[in-house]
A and B are shown apart, each in its own frame.
Chain A
Amino acid sequence: MHQESLKMSLVSVEGLSVRYGANTVLRHVDMTIEPGEIVTIVGPNGSGKTSLLRAVIGATKPDAGRVIQKPGLKIGYVPQKLHIDPTLPITVERFMRLTNPVSRQRCMDALDSAGVPDLLKRQMSQLSGGQFQRVLLARALINQPDILLLDEATQGLDQRGSAAFYQQIETVRRETGCAILMISHELHVVMSASDRVICLNGHVCCEGSPAVVASAPEYRALFGTGTGGALALYQHHHDHHHDHGEDPKEAAE
């Protein structure tokens, strides 16, 4: 894990355990993220996905183990849900430049490449769900991060919107070489867009390329055949497009 710093992983998680009170949500999780790869975390509700992402950014203190960020690592983060209180007036431009000392031109370029030009002067509270997520993405990318973290970033988008969103992420990776670590419930997207899938249920159940994970018995045990089997989705996702919008999990967390 510790090669010379040039080859160092962007993020290494070693033996991570996280506990909330008496409740252990993560046990001995090992994970590394290499430059330029797209890694997706899947798992049922309450499996510790968000806790793992929070631990990576330092928002959750590990109970055991550690998280090592490459020195000087720049993180772009797209939260699961960002609620802006209606009493807080803020324009898209102000929001994007809040903690990033960047020029207005950079903001406009970032919005352009996120597919939402002309939003600069709009109030955040006036954006539609899709525009809001794209602004969040543009904001996360504005500092040219080494790694982009997405926590169910397409929640609340319709299927077309989320497909476009993931396409955007692919483009980002291709153009900037930025690594991507995301949590997703949309198994068909995961299976077609990821280099590596980590199946989490308090611990790492199985891990590997989408095809490998989809056929792993641990994965089958978690997601069952009731979902139609993600492998089938993976292989047939072009002709069965209309079937796949369904979230295999029930209620939101």
Chain B
Amino acid sequence: MLDDFMTRATLAGVGVAFAAAPLGCFVVWRRMAYFGDATAHAAILGVALSLTFQMSIFAGALAVALIMALTVTLLTGRGYAMDTLLGVLAHSALAFGLVAVSFLSGVRIDLMAYLFGDILAVSRADLVVIWGGASLVVALIAWRWSQLLTATLNEELAYASGFDPKREQLILTLSLAVTVAVAIKVVGVLLIAAMLIIPAAAARSLARSPESMALIAAAIGAFSAVAGLRSAYLFDTPAGPSIVCVAAILFACFSLIGWQSRPGA
């Protein structure tokens, strides 16, 4: 069954959607959208380094994404204007990455694959990495769910309940780096943030609880992956962007429905 490239692509897309859904909810609730962007863009630098030193792309992207995410976390709340700082970091990481890739001979053609993903070329080994990473992220978030939520609501409430919100922040940071690393192959560094934010945002108007929002986001993400791949196949469009387009259309539909059913809101 895994011999079919479409089956492997679908499984890869669904795997990423499952990890991105609960994490994406926290990205939305905590207003970390730009943070996700910075981390994802930094990953292209990791790709360049991996190609230079001939190591696994996953490991290189993970390492650089993690360094970027930790840097941003460390700088948070130290008096910097966060959106400016993130804007600087996100785009300079991307620019440095692109320049670094250009130094490597013969990979210029492959660059598109890392910027926009190459989901149709997912191998069995990639599937293992994607599902392994996604399971790790889902397990981490499920394990710390209540604490993560409390820390998201209010830092002092977390301290008063006897746990350190900074550690919860670190768990999100780590999850983000892992998700970025596994999602490169599927949607590419430019659209990872979209996979995090759009399904979560689309789920908001349907959800009544944080848990249901994460589950609905997972369903929307998985549906987007399946339908996006299907339409990419039918219309011969790029796969990664097609997945994001489906998610965006769902977002628009659900928002309209939510807006209409909530008079005065």
Contact = CB atoms under 8 A, between A and B. Distances in A.
B45 interface: no
B161 A89 contact: no
Interface stretch (A78-86, A197-205, A236-244): A78-86
Interface string B135-170: 000000000001101101111110111000000000
Interface in B42-61: none
Contacts of B161: 99
A76 B157 CA distance: 9
A66 interface: no
Interface stretch (B7-15, B205-213, B243-251): B205-213
B209 A76 contact: no
Interface residues on A, range: 20 to 34
Nearest to B205: A89
A75 to B, nearest CB: 5
Interface residues of B, number: 26
B210 A59 contact: no
Contacts of A75: 160
Main secondary structure of the interface of B (DSSP, over half): helix
B159 A99 contact: no
B29 interface: yes
A87 B28 contact: yes
A99 B154 CA distance: 12
B210 A94 contact: yes
A62 to B, nearest CB: 14
A95 B154 CA distance: 12
A88 interface: yes
Interface string A53-94: 010011100000000000000011101001011011111001
Contact of A82 (B30, B154, B201): B154
Given A82-B154, A90-B210, A91-B208, A77 B149 contact: no
A149 interface: yes
A22 interface: no
Nearest to A139: B157
Nearest to B203: A89
A85 B156 contact: no
Contact of B201 (A54, A76, A87, A95): A87
Contacts of B201: 87
Given A89-B212, A151-B156, 8 more contacts: A77-B156, A87-B204, A89-B209, A89-B210, A95-B153, A98-B150, A99-B161, A123-B208
